Structure 1
Amino acid sequence: MRVACVDNGSNAIRFVVADFTSPTDYSIVYSLREPVRMGHGVFIHGRLNASCMDRALEAYQRFKGEMDRLGVSHYRVVATSAIRESSNGQEFVDLVLKKTGIQIEVITGSEESRLALTAIKSRIPLGTRPWIIVDLGGGSVEVSLVDDSGILWSESHTMGSVRLLEDLSETSQDPGRFRRVLSEYISTLRVPSVIGQKKPAGFVATGGNIEAIAKIAGLEPNQDGVTVLSVRQLEATIDSLSRRSYRERVEELGLREDRADVILPAAMVYERLASLAGVAKLYVPNVGIKEGVLIDLVDDLSGHRKHEAELEAGIENACLRFGRRYFFDEAHGKQVTNLSRSLFDQLSEIHGLPEEKRRILTSAAMVHDVGSYISRKKHHRHTYYLVKNSEFSGLSPQDIDLVATVARFHRKSDPTPDHDAMNQLDPEDQEVVVKLAPLLRIADALDREHKQLVRSVKVNLRKDAVVFEVDADGEFLLEKAHFKKRGELFTQTFGPKVKIQLRRL
């Protein structure tokens, strides 16, 4: 299977075409690295400059030509912090689509972590003990705690190599002073106590800079493609880099010009995080986001249903971790999630939404009450704010907006087009919210007492009504009363009246 990917980073744009013979075995057919520093200016002025956009567009036109020449029909293009943070990033995305037909997907830091983990697992068996993963790019550094089951915790810091270089540009001409100021700047980097609760099984570092550092240290990958770099070797490389000027790094160390200026900030970020983690060595797998994109794409193409199920499970775990951060009622969140999933599947004939929208509903179901952390009063509004301003592994920024909005309408106001939360969405996404909010309200009503009385729900579609046959414990009086009130939006949206019947087994 031949696939391609583009990793549109802050320091360069990478294009890869690969032939896969199995889900993780592949050979590179063609690769191209375009040294377009799209982060230049973004982290200071907040906009992509015109020159970078022109050069990047030319790169995408070359990518399109190569995909046509090589017969590539399946590909994925992702963009990270530079485009994500720029005020005119969408303008660039639209321009590339118009000129080349290539759709750029702007991903979150959490999605970067997921893709990096996908690539790492193809090289390093993680097992059940937690590992630390540090993925450093030009605009941000993603720090994650993971094991073989997935991401246990993740956080994105705005401390990428290009960003650091631009923030401290006034001192960059004096190597010694630059290192001192950089050291002070990086010392503010912290990782939450979750990292120090248990000694990690290992520390994995990804990114082009750490691969270059390992080569400067004279190291070669082992038979699995992994390079092991000790912290002492990293520190020695930092000393060597800091004694050299930019030009000396290019001429004496053989670094590319767009690597020579950012490698010292990158090395010091890795050293700082390794020190905080208390590790003696770093594992460099020599793969990263672009390889993760390829492997993830092939996994989806090879078995879409299985891939979707795994993705949905990962998203559910991310939402669960989010809820725990705000001390939510976990049992209630899980119950409403399970009921929502069941209702979505059984009512597909009525709502007509594609299967991938189920993850929007189940995510909203899991987190719908987290706003109670701020105040029980108007907690649906607080939930909306918290979710909308957070990241979830596996969810795009557009998905997160949908999850926040569906959760917002689990109670009180109806999702009308003129509502403040709704008018920020395009018409297609508004329709998704309109169809999912009634399902969430019914699922929430069926656990009104937060006692998980419902064991299962069977939906019967009749001519005059939709009947929800509920297998539940107890009298179920409060749930029945709440169901009647919460079911009004269902009738208003879809037409049929709703009825509830108790089934006794």
Structure 2
Amino acid sequence: MLSIKKYAAIDIGSNAVRLLIANIIEEKDKEPRFRKSSLVRVPIRLGADVFLNQEISEYNKNRMADTMLAFNLIMKSHNVVKYKACATSAMREANNGEEVVDLVLKNSGVQIDIIDGEEEAAIIAATDLHSFLDDTKTYLYVDVGGGSTEFTVIHLGKNVASRSFKVGTVRLLNDIVNKETWDELQLWIKENTREYEKVDLVGSGGNINKIFKLSGKRMGKPLTYFYLTSFYNMLHTYSYEQRITELDLNQDRADVIIPATRIYLSAMKWSGAKDIYVPKIGLADGIVKSIYFDTVSSHTQLK
């Protein structure tokens, strides 16, 4: 007997807000399968407000309310039965984050949970990441966001160290990541990878996904440190406008892709990694699986 349910994940990040709708296919005596059905992305860039002014502007509060109303209608159109909306770094740090949560609930009926870094890392760990990895190897998993980057050392299939740092693309664009934070990150990576003879990077986030797509590599094949360095240097030769017109980048991707690449390259350098694998999974994928397996603090029935 075949059963198909639709779950949705809303990922409210510092650079963009995403709605992922997934089909969960259940068959007797088989593991459930998770298939992406629809993905909508809106570049609200909450971090540009919060990291400079400590609160979300009236303009972006209203954009959030409108976006969540649209997401609610899309979920209903898809017959979604359960969803979870998670807000991360920008909403965590906004003085008026709870005010935005209340406004969104009132205007759209969507309940947003502002999650801490620990829950964010736990949700990401619920993804299919381990199915892409070789359990005989050591990896440094790097999930780059607009406000923060999550790092996890995975050795022989097990997470052995994890930490979130306030080093994100929107923060770097606004030049608000100090040297002390970079030094602390460098020290953490070196201390937690030095005992391993060989470390590979695993990268997640919209920017590394775009870089991988532009490379033309086949899924499962890594990007090399040399390639990423060359790409980073090439990006600097293009103006912002040229990155949009010649590299076919969205306008909200054309600026953050440079600091994102810098974060991945720094992590590779400090861990000694020569390759970076890009499985194209992230927080939204983890939210869907966490709803299904009931491992998150809460989720919501769509009304």
TM-score (norm 2): 0.87
- Alpha-carbon distance between aligned partners in 2 of 1:187 and 1:29, rounded to the nearest angstrom: 38
Change (3 A) 1:83 1:31: same
- Paired residue for 1:41, among 49, 54, 61? 49
Q: Is the 8 A contact 2:200 2:274 kept in 1?
A: no
Change (3 A) 1:185 1:249: farther
- Deviation per CA, 1:363-414: give whole Å up to 9, x if none: xxxxxxxxxxxxxxxxxxxxxxxxxxxxxxx789xxxxxxxxxxxxxxxxxx
Q: Is the 8 A contact 2:228 2:265 kept in 1?
A: yes
One-letter amino acid of the structure 2 residue matched with residue 15 of structure 1 = L
Q: Secondary structure at the match of 2:174?
A: helix
Q: Is the 8 A contact 1:24 1:295 kept in 2?
A: no
Query: What are the ranges of 5 or more consecutive residues in structure 2 without an aligned counterpart?
Result: 299-303
Q: Which residue of 2 aligns with 1:2?
A: 6
One-letter amino acid of the structure 1 residue matched with residue 42 of structure 2 = E
Q: Is the 8 A contact 1:46 1:85 kept in 2?
A: yes
Q: Which residue of 1 aligns with 2:40?
A: 32
- Alpha-carbon distance between aligned partners in 1 of 2:181 and 2:257, rounded to the nearest angstrom: 14
One-letter amino acid of the structure 2 residue matched with residue 32 of structure 1 = V
One-letter amino acid of the structure 2 residue matched with residue 287 of structure 1 = I
C-alpha deviation, 1:101, in angstroms? 1.9
One-letter amino acid of the structure 2 residue matched with residue 21 of structure 1 = I
Q: Is the 8 A contact 1:135 1:206 kept in 2?
A: yes
- Paired residue for 1:20, among 17, 20, 24? 24
Structure 1 vs Structure 2 CA RMSD: 2.4
C-alpha deviation, 1:33, in angstroms? 0.8
Change (3 A) 1:161 1:27: same
Equivalent residue runs for 1:63-462 within 5 Å: 63-121=71-129, 123-127=131-135, 129-147=137-155, 150-167=158-175, 188=183, 189-192=185-188, 193-221=191-219, 226-300=220-294
One-letter amino acid of the structure 2 residue matched with residue 71 of structure 1 = N
- Alpha-carbon distance between aligned partners in 1 of 2:247 and 2:241, rounded to the nearest angstrom: 10
Q: Secondary structure at the match of 1:40?
A: helix
- Alpha-carbon distance between aligned partners in 2 of 1:252 and 1:183, rounded to the nearest angstrom: 32
One-letter amino acid of the structure 1 residue matched with residue 284 of structure 2 = K
C-alpha deviation, 1:274, in angstroms? 0.6
- Alpha-carbon distance between aligned partners in 1 of 2:181 and 2:259, rounded to the nearest angstrom: 9
- Alpha-carbon distance between aligned partners in 2 of 1:148 and 1:271, rounded to the nearest angstrom: 23
- Alpha-carbon distance between aligned partners in 2 of 1:121 and 1:287, rounded to the nearest angstrom: 7
Change (3 A) 1:25 1:133: same
Q: Secondary structure at the match of 1:119?
A: coil
* Number of corresponding residues: 287
- Alpha-carbon distance between aligned partners in 2 of 1:210 and 1:274, rounded to the nearest angstrom: 13
Change (3 A) 1:282 1:24: farther
Q: Is the 8 A contact 2:104 2:110 kept in 1?
A: yes
Change (3 A) 1:216 1:297: same
TM-score (norm 1): 0.53
Larger radius of gyration, structure 1 or 2? 1
- Alpha-carbon distance between aligned partners in 2 of 1:252 and 1:289, rounded to the nearest angstrom: 30
- Alpha-carbon distance between aligned partners in 1 of 2:158 and 2:103, rounded to the nearest angstrom: 35
- Alpha-carbon distance between aligned partners in 2 of 1:63 and 1:82, rounded to the nearest angstrom: 20
One-letter amino acid of the structure 2 residue matched with residue 3 of structure 1 = Y
C-alpha deviation, 1:98, in angstroms? 1.7
Q: Secondary structure at the match of 2:159?
A: strand
C-alpha deviation, 1:208, in angstroms? 0.4
Q: Secondary structure at the match of 1:235?
A: helix
- Deviation per CA, 1:450-478: give whole Å up to 9, x if none: xxxxxxxxxxxxxxxxxxxxxxxxxxxxx
Q: Is the 8 A contact 1:132 1:200 kept in 2?
A: no
Q: Is the 8 A contact 1:10 1:139 kept in 2?
A: yes
Of structures 1 and 2, the one scoring higher in RCO (CA 8 A, sep 6+) is 2
Change (3 A) 1:111 1:155: same
- Which has the larger share of strand? 2
- Alpha-carbon distance between aligned partners in 1 of 2:226 and 2:180, rounded to the nearest angstrom: 21
* Percent identity between the two aligned chains: 32
- Deviation per CA, 1:213-253: give whole Å up to 9, x if none: 122333232xxxx3511111100100110111100100110
